[in-house]
């Protein structure tokens, strides 16, 4: 739910008509970024406030009975088609490239999947946001995937190699944040059959910290524009309190508003 910060940033983009040609989303960012292309301001905050506390959506029961703490059917099919309908026509009309990052379980490496039709390609999004230890692996095209943040948490290098000459990086941790290592015993207990994934999980903090440093350098060089919180958001990964969700969304909205003048100068350069 740190992704509520990202949702706030993107809602500010809609308020100020900030247009982008492509989005490369990771994990929660993959789930919430689509609302920028569909033009649905406030949607990510609205449905999470309504359904994060709903056991049909997120629950220990779902984890025990399905293997997913976030229920696949309710979260990825019922909500966007019945309760808070996603505007797929607007998404497709936008015409921008929508990419999500996933981690290949067999290789331990990141892969990048383009979603052309959001609801038809929803398993790509689900794979990108399938957190290790509390989600099933998502099978696509005969391959198994988990959360894209495992292998490529901040895909700025990928965005630059794709040819985007103006890159906006939205982070949900302050500049001072550095990730610590995971418990190796826990990793092996869950994924011993997948040695490459185990290696990637054990090295994840090193990759993340190197990427954070690269982002800082690229920002200083003026090659990327970064929006990040000034202090830790202090929100639980699966926070259910609607007020807490609104608080973090508001921080993202505020930070983007404060950055807007500089952002437009960067985009127009």
pLDDT interval class at 269 (50, 70, 90): confident
Of 58, 70, 150, nearest to 110 by C-alpha is: 150
Query: What's phi and psi for 85, nearest 5 deg?
Result: -65, 130
**Which 3 state secondary structure label does DSSP give 103?**
strand
- Compute the average pLDDT of residues 225-236: 97
Task: Output the six-digit token pair for 112.
Answer: 């990048």
Bridge partners of 145?
Answer: 104, 138
Find the helix or strand (DSSP H, E) in which 205 lies: helix 204-220
Q: Has residue 156 got a pLDDT over 90?
A: yes
Dihedral angle sign, alpha carbons of residues 91, 250, 266, 99: negative
- Compute the average pLDDT of residues 219-245: 97
Name the percent of the chain lying above pLDDT 90: 99
**Which 3 state secondary structure label does DSSP give 18?**
coil
CA dist 156 and 212 (Å) reads: 10
Q: Has residue 214 got a pLDDT over 90?
A: yes
Q: Has residue 191 got a pLDDT over 90?
A: yes
Residue-wise pLDDT tens digits, 4-42 = 999 999 999 999 999 999 999 999 999 999 999 999 999
Residue-wise pLDDT tens digits, 92-146 = 999 999 999 999 999 999 999 999 999 999 999 999 999 999 999 999 999 999 9
Bridge partners of 221?
Answer: none
Residue-wise pLDDT tens digits, 54-90 = 999 999 999 999 999 999 999 999 999 999 999 999 9
- Compute the average pLDDT of residues 188-209: 98
Average pLDDT taken over every residue of the chain = 97
CA dist 179 and 166 (Å) reads: 27
First to last CA, the chain: 33
In this predicted model, which residue has the larger pLDDT, 165 or 124? 124
CB neighbour list of residue 44: distance below 8 Å, 6 or more residues apart: 3, 4, 7, 10, 31, 32, 35, 249
Beta strands 110-114 and 167-170: pairing type? unpaired
Of 53, 9, 80, 1, nearest to 228 by C-alpha is: 9
**Which 3 state secondary structure label does DSSP give 125?**
helix
* C-alpha 241: how far from chain center: 20
């Amino acid at each position: 739910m740190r992704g509520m910060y990202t949702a706030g940033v993107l809602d500010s983009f809609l308020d100020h008509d900030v247009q982008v040609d492509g989005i490369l989303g990771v994990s929660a960012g993959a789930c919430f970024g689509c609302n920028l292309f569909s033009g649905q301001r406030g949607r990510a905050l609205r449905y999470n406030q309504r359904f994060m506390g709903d056991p049909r959506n997120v629950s220990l029961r779902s984890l025990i009975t399905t293997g997913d703490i976030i229920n696949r059917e309710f979260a990825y099919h019922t909500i966007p088609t019945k309760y808070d309908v996603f505007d797929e026509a607007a998404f497709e009309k936008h015409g921008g490239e929508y990419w999500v990052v996933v981690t290949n379980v067999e290789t331990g490496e990141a892969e990048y999947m383009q979603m052309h039709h959001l609801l038809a390609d929803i398993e790509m999004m689900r794979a990108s946001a399938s957190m290790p230890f509390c989600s099933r692996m998502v099978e696509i095209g005969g391959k198994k995937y988990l959360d894209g943040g495992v292998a490529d948490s901040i895909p700025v290098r990928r965005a630059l190699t794709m040819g985007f000459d103006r890159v906006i990086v939205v982070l949900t941790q302050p500049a001072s944040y550095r990730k610590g290592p995971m418990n190796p015993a826990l990793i092996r207990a869950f994924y011993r059959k997948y040695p490459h994934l185990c290696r990637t999980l054990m090295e994840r903090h090193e990759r993340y910290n190197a990427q954070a440093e690269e982002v800082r350098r690229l920002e200083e060089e003026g090659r990327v524009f970064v929006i990040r919180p000034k202090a830790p958001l202090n929100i639980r990964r699966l926070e259910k309190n609607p007020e807490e969700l609104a608080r973090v969304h508001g921080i993202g909205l505020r930070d983007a508003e404060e950055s807007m003048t500089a952002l437009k100068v960067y985009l127009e350069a």
